[in-house]
């Protein structure tokens, strides 16, 4: 998709001149529109590269949202967002700064409250989100994000039509009101949210667990939002006076694959998880799905399935921290807006060896708390 941004610049001689920015965006092979009621934005280090299509800050900004108890995280592509929100900023080379300010403005809206269960905070105003992928079955990212203003959306759709509903202006006008348009958008969004959950699980084969995901990791892996832990080794979290040491103790065959965990919470400010007053907890998490076989792909002959969640238990509540487990022993890091949160990977398999003051520990600040 090619776009041309035009802006008039005033020179020192006060003679207007026109600047053009001619750029290409890769074709969106998949495109979805959703309404999000429970959401938050996570920020990390800004990537200053300006090439579009994946290089410019996808890791720096993440939209975290939730629907029907399923949580989703998508990176936000600042170049695509600028194309949707303020294409003139691309022309002037200020799109990174402008999109930083734009996202900060969204997060700063009033009306926040906790949604409960450790999920994203809920805002009194919903988001309209455009999610795309430049390859069929590829990584999804946020290309557009707006506070849902029913009157503004209705006025725009009456003039240009609704991309979300695939409706031309005449069809939108026939709906008669912003309320009627938003009701149809919500119905379409509900269908799309279900498709998002199915899409995320579509590569999971039938049978107990995924053999690739169940391979036992020999070394911990750290990503922007989660840690792939080694079976039996402690991960340590700290925030303020609270320190938690948590580990996966064993794999289980429950449902489609699960794991048992244990944790030790020290909340007295000492950081010593070996003291008698430490609080211990344990439990089990697992993934559970139902699968409906679909006809084989006529081109490849490969079978495929529709996959639906059937009561997975993914939450690990360890003291004040909420973690989310996924197969392969990945632990999604907690979100505590406004609080400093640090984590450290250890090779300790005994609680007595865990020392939060050890100089060998590397503490990493969790950017999701920002």
- pLDDT, tens digit, for every residue of 108-121? 654 444 445 444 45
Percent helix / strand / coil, the chain, rounded to 5: 20, 40, 45
Per-residue pLDDT band at 248 (split at 50, 70, 90): very high
Q: Whose structure tokens read 């211990």?
A: 280
pLDDT over 60 at 294, yes or no = yes
327 and 242 housed in the same domain: yes
| Nearest CA among 212, 311, 307, 300 for reference residue 255 | 311
pTM above 0.85, yes or no: no
Tell me what the mean pLDDT of segment 26-36 comes to. 91
The answer as to whether 196 is a domain residue is: no
Q: Beta partners for 324?
A: 315, 332
225 and 365 housed in the same domain: yes
Confidence at residue 134, expressed as pLDDT on a 0 to 100 scale: 85
104 and 231 housed in the same domain: no
- Give the C-alpha separation, 332 to 344, whole Å: 14
Q: Whose structure tokens read 């975290």?
A: 64
- Give the C-alpha separation, 135 to 8, whole Å: 36
136 and 251 housed in the same domain: no
pLDDT over 50 at 370, yes or no = no
The answer as to whether 187 is a domain residue is: no
The answer as to whether 335 is a domain residue is: yes
In the structure encoding, which two tokens stand for residue 191, read together?
């269908």
240 and 362 housed in the same domain: yes
140 and 255 housed in the same domain: no
263 and 133 housed in the same domain: no
The answer as to whether 200 is a domain residue is: no
Which of 96, 129, 148 lies at the terminal end of a domain, its last residue?
Answer: 148
- What's the chain's Rg over C-alpha atoms? 23
**Does residue 336 or residue 357 have the better pLDDT?**
357
Confidence at residue 173, expressed as pLDDT on a 0 to 100 scale: 94
- Give the C-alpha separation, 169 to 228, whole Å: 49
- Give the C-alpha separation, 322 to 48, whole Å: 32
Per-residue pLDDT band at 202 (split at 50, 70, 90): low
The answer as to whether 18 is a domain residue is: no
Give first-to-last CA distance, the chain, whole Å: 34
- Give the C-alpha separation, 177 to 182, whole Å: 9
123 and 232 housed in the same domain: no
226 and 143 housed in the same domain: no
pLDDT over 60 at 61, yes or no = yes
Which of 84, 117, 148 lies at the terminal end of a domain, its last residue?
Answer: 148
Expressed as residue numbers, the domain containing 125 is: 28-148
Which of 97, 121, 148 lies at the terminal end of a domain, its last residue?
Answer: 148
The answer as to whether 273 is a domain residue is: yes
120 and 249 housed in the same domain: no
140 and 226 housed in the same domain: no
Of the chain, the percentage scoring pLDDT greater than 90 comes to: 36
The answer as to whether 35 is a domain residue is: yes
| Number of independent structural domains in the chain | 2
Q: Whose structure tokens read 């238990």?
A: 313
Which of 65-74, 80-89, 139-148, 199-208 comes out lowest in average pLDDT? 199-208
Confidence at residue 201, expressed as pLDDT on a 0 to 100 scale: 57
**Does residue 6 or residue 348 have the better pLDDT?**
348
Confidence at residue 68, expressed as pLDDT on a 0 to 100 scale: 72
pLDDT over 90 at 128, yes or no = yes
The answer as to whether 261 is a domain residue is: yes
363 and 247 housed in the same domain: yes
């Amino acid at each position: 998709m090619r776009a041309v941004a035009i802006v008039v610049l005033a020179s020192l001689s006060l003679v207007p001149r026109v600047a053009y920015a001619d750029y290409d965006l890769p074709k969106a092979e998949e495109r979805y529109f959703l309404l999000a009621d429970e959401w938050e934005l996570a920020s990390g280090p800004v990537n200053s590269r300006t090439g579009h299509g994946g290089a410019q800050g996808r890791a720096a900004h993440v939209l975290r949202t939730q629907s029907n108890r399923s949580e989703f995280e998508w990176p936000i592509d600042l170049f695509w967002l600028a194309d949707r929100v303020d294409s003139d900023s691309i022309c002037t080379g200020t799109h990174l700064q402008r999109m930083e300010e734009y996202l900060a403005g969204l997060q700063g809206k009033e009306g926040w409250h906790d949604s409960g269960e450790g999920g994203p905070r809920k805002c009194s105003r919903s988001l309209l989100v455009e999610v795309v992928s430049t390859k069929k079955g590829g990584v999804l990212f946020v290309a557009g994000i707006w506070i849902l203003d029913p009157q503004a959306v209705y006025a725009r759709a009456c003039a240009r039509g609704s991309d979300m509903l695939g409706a031309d202006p005449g069809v939108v006008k026939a709906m008669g009101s912003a309320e009627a348009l938003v009701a149809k958008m919500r119905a379409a969004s509900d269908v799309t949210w279900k498709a998002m959950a199915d899409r995320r699980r579509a590569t999971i084969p039938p049978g107990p667990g995924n053999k690739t995901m169940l391979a036992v990791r020999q070394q911990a892996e750290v990503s922007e939002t989660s840690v792939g832990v080694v079976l039996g080794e402690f991960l340590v979290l700290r925030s303020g006076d609270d320190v938690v040491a948590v580990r996966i103790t064993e794999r289980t065959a429950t449902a489609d694959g699960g794991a048992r965990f244990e944790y030790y919470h020290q909340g007295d400010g000492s950081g010593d998880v070996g003291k008698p007053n430490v609080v211990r907890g344990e439990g089990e998490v697992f993934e559970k799905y139902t699968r409906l076989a679909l006809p084989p792909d006529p081109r490849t002959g490969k079978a495929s399935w529709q996959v639906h969640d059937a009561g997975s238990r993914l939450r690990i509540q360890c003291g004040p921290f909420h973690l989310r487990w996924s197969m392969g022993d990945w632990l999604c890091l907690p979100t505590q807006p406004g609080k400093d949160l640090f984590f450290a990977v250890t090779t300790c398999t005994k609680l007595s060896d865990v020392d939060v003051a050890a100089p060998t520990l590397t503490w990493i600040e969790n950017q999701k708390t920002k």
